[in-house]
Structure 1
């Protein structure tokens, strides 16, 4: 049987579609735009920020998927976390994050704080309680509490609160790409797939604008 060029092209296109090639992310379905876009750190790397709250069960559930993604973090992407603050009760979580960062204990204890809250059902509502838990986990409780109440940590907490508003967050976890896009998804795997697609978009936009 012979096929004309048009027929072959049609069959090839149908085969292309049958391979399950993903469409471009759709606004308000796969991602949301941040308007106005927020400034990013200087440099050529695409910036990804995870806004989270230690008390958020969805943030806790996202951690394993996010950890796998971080294991393959592209060389041209920089990643950081920012503790979101929507209300006063979230401030202690932000203080905890930045205190661990200041003391050089963040990598060791970030996941353990999540576990303490969501697995062990610890009530981390105030710095005194959190400091007592830290004392049982290899951190000087007094030093933790003093650092949590320091001017340096207070400044970072204030900045996190400002960013939570400026980035127009409606909930957490929120994965933000280059200060412009928030990845959405009905599943965590879907959210990560949209995150990757938005990173590709940011690369293209940076190349077009010559941004460094």
Structure 2
């Protein structure tokens, strides 16, 4: 009788376990890995991407990640031109050239339509776009001093308020200019070529803030125990690897970022 009872209890626990797993969309050890220890004490939900400018895979995945991140605050803002200003302009011209009045009205309507379309695009979220509550941070991996110049280039640009990621990847992988991530002089010259002031570059390069950022990046990567990039660490403890299936990958990131402990 006891044997039957224990067998029944085992079946119940097994059924409960299977049900619990079925309710979990993605499973640790299968769809993502758990790091031995938490590497970042920042508030969740948050995704960190460890990368290196010299990494071909990082270069390939960068535009995909940018699309997921959506419009950035650093994007160039279009110069606004209101319908009222345009209407006044056409009203003045129409006194001299009556035939311009109809043309001006048509242009006013087109400008208003374009404005509405722009507003719609700015508020619309694509299917695979990051939700606003998830923080994201690029962190250059620096497992050795060989990668340090590229990391310092990244943080110096950040200190100067510059987003040079796309152009840096292009220089290294498409324009045969890898020296900018290995040679300090070439790295600084590259920043100047992108619009930075030479004196400001030199000051930021050796600044205390950049030095702190470098030390933190090195510590985070070392603590993670990772051996390659790109690597996406969620909430400081979950390792989600990019496999090429964009929709599934970003869905896992979103799912894991919102896991409740």
- TM-score range (shorter-chain normalised) is 0.7 to 0.9
What is the deviation of 1:161?
0.4
Deviates more, 1:70-79 or 1:141-150: 141-150
Aligned to 2:208: 151
Aligned partners of 1:41, 1:96: CA distance in 2, in Å?
24
Aligned-partner SS, 1:74: coil
Alignment pair present for 1:100 and 2:157: yes
Aligned to 2:190: 133
Q: Which runs of 5+ in 1 are unaligned?
A: 1-22
Q: Deviations over 1:119-170 (max 9, x none)?
A: 1111221211111122222112342133112222112101110011112212
**Is the contact between residue 128 and residue 145 of structure 1 (CA under 8 Å) also seen in structure 2?**
no
Aligned-partner SS, 1:38: coil
Q: Deviations over 1:1-49 (max 9, x none)?
A: xxxxxxxxxxxxxxxxxxxxxx84354443221111234323xx41111
Alignment pair present for 1:32 and 2:43: no
Larger-gyration structure (1/2): 2
Aligned partners of 1:161, 1:200: CA distance in 2, in Å?
27
Aligned to 1:179: 236
What is the deviation of 1:185?
3.9
Q: CA RMSD, aligned part only?
A: 2.2
Aligned-partner SS, 1:82: strand
Q: Which runs of 5+ in 2 are unaligned?
A: 1-23, 71-128
Aligned to 1:119: 174
- Equivalent pairs counted in the alignment come to 179
Aligned-partner SS, 1:204: coil
Alignment pair present for 1:166 and 2:208: no
**Is the contact between residue 157 and residue 191 of structure 2 (CA under 8 Å) also seen in structure 1?**
no
Aligned partners of 1:51, 1:155: CA distance in 2, in Å?
17
Change (3 A) 1:141 1:29: farther
Per the normalisation by structure 1, the TM-score is 0.76
**Is the contact between residue 232 and residue 240 of structure 2 (CA under 8 Å) also seen in structure 1?**
yes
**Is the contact between residue 51 and residue 230 of structure 2 (CA under 8 Å) also seen in structure 1?**
yes
Aligned partners of 2:171, 2:62: CA distance in 1, in Å?
14
